[in-house]
Amino acid sequence: MNITQKIIKNHLVSGNMVAGEEISIRIDQTLTQDSTGTMAYLEFEAIGIPRVKTKKSVAYIDHNTLQSGFENADDHKYIQTVTKKHGIHFSRPGNGICHQVHLERFGVPGMTLLGSDSHTPTGGGIGMLAIGAGGMDVAVAMGGGAYYLTMPKVVKVNLTGKLNPWVAAKDIILEVLRRLSVKGGVGKVIEYVGEGVKSLTVPERATITNMGAELGATTSVFPSDETTRAFLKAQGREEDYTEILPDADATYDEELTIDLSTLAPMAAKPHMPDNVDTITNIGPIKVDQVAIGSCTNSSYMDMMKVARILKGNTVHEDVSLVIAPGSKQVLNMLSQNGALADMIAAGARILESACGPCIGMGQSPKTDAISLRTFNRNFEGRSGTVSAQVYLVSPEVAAISAIKGVLTDPRELDMSNIIDMPEKFLINDNMVVEPAPEGNDVEVVRGPNIKPFPVNVALPENLKGKSLIKVEDNITTDHIMPSNAKLLPYRSNVPYLSEYCLTPCDPEFPARAKENGGGFIIGGSNYGQGSSREHAALAPLYLGIKAVIVKSFARIHMANLINSGILPLVLENEADYDRIDMMDELAIDDVRTQLTSGNKIVVKNITKGIEIPTIINVSDRQKDMLLAGGLLNYTRENN
Ligand code: MIC
Ligand code: SF4
């Protein structure tokens, strides 16, 4: 067996481990963050289970950390109190980005982790099966429920050779993205094996598994080996180590080989993570902003490389350099060893350990800016500035370019890039609040920003409405439910958020949806890629969307639509995309019967007088969920 199969087998609750079939697995750990967490805990409360049943559940505060009104602080207090009551650990604001902290302090090789954030696969860097999901799925897992997924295909990425100096882990995942594209990983787990694995540290592995999310993959995983043991030992938790290697005769569904020694520093150009080219080919374009951090590249090792490059230099006068170390552990170590002083002396603007600019929480660049970021997503507008051009690069490329003022290949640096892995990290978990003992009475504090979330009704017999919007391929959840410093504070207020639903594609969409009493969304392929935010389903639900009809879906978004009771329909013939225009009148007759009797749903285009065949690729359980009007209704009916 390969690693993926081994971990799944150990956690299998139902189903056969045959790629494409529905399986369910037991979840050992969960994580939430604050922009999805408020909703996840409201849903957990609605399910009504008093105490979490996982081995460990942690709630992080890392996204909504700019507090320009009471809203974010209210959400934080709600999360702090609701977690205390129900048995969940609470990582206070300032303690760091969920994925970085979880890797450092809580992740355990061989365990399953379900997180309400699409970059949860970071945990694959230490051999966890770590999967991103919508808040509702995480709520169910906290209550002890199994997590349902399609048994993935497993792709073997055989790493050979060794990286040359100044070529980084970021370049490896950019190369995978270049080859496979942002939809190349859908339905697959990406498993890294081969000689090249040995030369990669845990933080480097975690950069790769983190950004596997951009492939649309279910998750990515590395072996748990002596490198993993050394990392856990340095984190004071060697007892959490188990070796997990693929069997010598392990088989895979697909295979690709990357010779690390052939890679060069690269960047993902605007506006997609798979739009990859080498720094040399892109050339020395002038840079306005450099942002270093995010869950992809904010480890101690990354920060030390940055500090070394910055030391004794000054950030170019036309560049704003911001740095957000990934965790309190990292920031504290940098402050103790003097590296932070080197960054400050060079002119870096130090941000708190949080997501920050990655999710548009501040530091939006100027109009038409070129912004280099060590992050994982460069979707148009995500920085908060619609006209900005974001390039995704390694910390090494970012740091040298910040000094030079132009995009620069770090291989021209005349110094060593070797940073030794610390034998002991600085361990201080004082910002993690333990849950209250079982039975203790904790008052859950709900500020005025916390509004009830929309719940669907059982699927009616007939659906009718207009095609309210028609969008293209690769629409992200950042398009469907934009996030920025102004909107993130309303993550627990779906009525307010819905006013912005799909507005980057069409500002009139929410008003049109309301005027027409709801209807249908038409999309291209890989619809809903990116974030796990279930708000990208809840806001359409609030606006009365009954079905989303597309060429293909991204995994988490499709699951979120089903959880909300919205039909995810895939055009049987992609060419039919051209046979539905905006504001065409559509109808689905006898939808309950159609749904129960197979996997085909006929959509009538009344305006054009034609029938359009669609496929609904869901399990029987998901059909029951859709009939019931979503996961919450389904759970209530079945308990
Ligand atoms: C993101 O990177 O887009 C986020 C913000 O972390 C999201 C979660 C969210 O939308 O709150 C994610 O990746 O799931
Ligand atoms: Fe935070 Fe960015 Fe990572 Fe999302 S991708 S968890 S916003 S740092």
Say if CB 27 and CB 54 are below 8 A apart. Answer: yes
Residues 6+ apart with CB under 8 A from 250: 1, 2, 3, 5
Report, as an integer, the average pLDDT of 229-246.
98
Contact 198, 225 (CB under 8 A): yes
d(CA 419, CA 416): 8
The two domains 3-262 and 463-637 share their CATH topology (first three levels equal): no
Alpha helices, H only, 481-523: 494-498, 509-515
Tokens of 433: 């609040």
Query: Per-residue pLDDT averaged across 575-604, rounded?
Result: 98
- Closest atom of ligand 1 to 382 CA is 3
**What CATH homologous superfamily does 3-262 map to?**
Aconitase, domain 3 (3.30.499.10)
CA distance 455 to 436: 30
In tens, the pLDDT along 50-109 reads: 999 999 999 999 999 999 999 999 999 999 999 999 999 999 999 999 999 999 999 999
Residues in a beta bridge with 568: 548
Point out the ligand 1 atom lying closest to the alpha carbon of residue 478: 3
Ligand nearest to the CA of 357: 2
Q: What is the DSSP letter of 104?
A: I
The average pLDDT across 501-505 equals 97
Which whole number is the average pLDDT over 315-324? 98
In testing the pocket of ligand 1, which one of 35, 376, 490 has its CB within 8 Å of the most ligand atoms? 35
Q: Is 358 near ligand 2, meaning CB less than 6 Å away? A: yes
Residue ID of nearest Cα to ligand 2 atom 3 = 295
For residues 62 and 482, give the distance between their C-alpha atoms in angstroms, rounded to a whole number.
18
- Cβ neighbours for 376, distance < 8 A, ≥ 6 positions apart: 119, 210, 211, 213, 214, 273, 294, 295, 296, 358, 392
Taking the C-alpha atoms of residue 36 and residue 560, their distance in angstroms, rounded to an integer, is: 12
Indicate if the pLDDT at residue 337 is higher than 90: yes
For the chain, counts of helices (H) and of strands (E): 22, 27
332 close to 325: Cβ distance less than 8 angstroms? no
* Cis bond before residue 557 (omega within 30° of 0): no
Identify the CATH number of the domain defined by range 266-410: 3.30.499.10
- The pLDDT value recorded for residue 4 is 98
Lowest mean pLDDT among 52-61, 216-225, 445-454, 546-555: 445-454
Mutational pocket test of ligand 1: of 63, 298, 491, the residue with most ligand atoms within 8 Å of the beta carbon:
63
**DSSP class of 96:** B
Strand partners, 463: 588
- When pLDDT is cut at 50, 70 and 90, the band that residue 144 belongs to is very high
Ligand located closest to 207 CA = 2
Percentage of the chain with pLDDT > 70?
A: 100
Domain parsing of the chain, residue ranges = 3-262, 266-410, 463-637
Instruction: Give the least confident one: 14-18, 47-51, 273-277, 395-399.
Output: 47-51
Cα dihedral sign, 410-412-413-419: positive
Give the per-residue pLDDT at 439.
85
pTM of the complete model: 0.98
SS3 594: helix
How, if at all, do strands 29-32 and 56-60 pair?
A: parallel
Q: Would you say 174 and 260 are in contact if contact means Cβ atoms under 8 Å apart?
A: no
Spatial separation of the C-alpha atoms in residues 401 and 408, rounded to whole Å: 5
pLDDT of residue 638: 83
Q: How many CB atoms lie within 10 A of CB 619?
A: 16
Confidence of residue 595 (pLDDT cuts 50, 70, 90): very high
| Residue 449: band (very low, low, confident or very high) from pLDDT cuts 50, 70, 90 | confident
Average pLDDT over residues 572-598: 98
**Arithmetic mean of pLDDT, 248-275:** 98
Q: Considering only CA atoms, which of 63, 70, 61 is closest in space to residue 88? A: 61
**How is the beta sheet containing 12-14 ordered, strand by strand?**
12-14, 22-25, 147-150
Q: What's the pLDDT score for residue 636?
A: 83
255: number of Cβ within 10 Å = 12
Measured distance between the N- and C-terminal CA atoms of the chain, rounded to whole angstroms: 36
Tell me, what DSSP letter sits at residue 384? S
Give the pLDDT score at 451: 87
Q: Tokens 């977690």 label which residue?
A: 83
Q: How distant, in Å, are the alpha carbons of 90, 142, 327 from that of 95? A: 10, 22, 6
pLDDT higher than 90, residue 639: no
pLDDT at 498: 97
Q: Are 4 and 251 in contact (CB under 8 A)?
A: no
Buried b (16+ CB within 10 A) or exposed e, 13-38: eebeeeeeebbbbbbbbbbbbbbbbb
118 Cα to the center of ligand 1, angstroms: 6
> Would you report the helix, strand and coil content of the chain in percent, each value rounded to 5?
35, 20, 45
Classify residue 623 by burial, with Cβ atoms within 10 Å: 0-12, 13-18, 19+.
Answer: middle
Report the distance separating Cα 87 and Cα 435, nearest Å: 5
Give the phi and the psi of residue 204 in degrees, each rounded to 5. -65, -45
Residue 637 is predicted with a pLDDT of: 87
Cα 166 to the chain's mean position, in Å? 27
Largest alpha-carbon pair distance within the chain?
Answer: 72
3-state secondary structure of 392: strand
Cα–Cα distance for residue pair 248/440, rounded to 1 Å: 50
Please state, rounded to an integer, the average pLDDT across all residues of the chain. 97
DSSP per-residue codes, 229-266: HHHHHHTT-GGG---B---TT---SEEEEEEGGG---E
Ligand 1 site-directed mutation target among 30, 97, 118, most atoms within 8 Å of CB = 118
Indicate whether 377 pLDDT > 80.
Answer: yes
- Residue 386: the pLDDT is 95
- Token pair, residue 298, equals 């904010």
Q: How far does the centroid of ligand 1 lie from the alpha carbon of residue 560, in Å? A: 14
How far apart are the C-alpha atoms of 101 and 430, rounded to whole Å? Answer: 13
**Residue type at 6?**
K
Residues 6+ apart with CB under 8 A from 397: 168, 265, 267, 279, 372, 407, 408, 409, 410
The string of pLDDT tens digits covering residues 603-616 is 999 999 999 999 99
Average pLDDT for 259-285: 98
How would you label 43-74 residue by residue, b for 16+ Cβ within 10 Å and e otherwise?
Answer: bbeebebeebebebbbbbbbbbbbeeeebbbb
Dump pLDDT digits (tens) for 410-433: 999 999 999 999 999 999 999 999
97 lines ligand 2 (CB under 6 A): yes
pLDDT at 450: 87
The arithmetic mean of pLDDT across residues 539-559, rounded, is: 98
**Ligand 1: which atom is nearest the Cα of residue 117?**
14
| Cα–Cα dist 348/456, whole Å | 48
User: Ligand 1 in contact with 119 (CB < 6 A)?
Assistant: yes
Question: What kind of architecture, by CATH, is found in domain 463-637?
Answer: Alpha-Beta Barrel (3.20)
Question: In terms of pLDDT, which residue wins out, 452 or 462?
Answer: 462
pLDDT for 481? 98
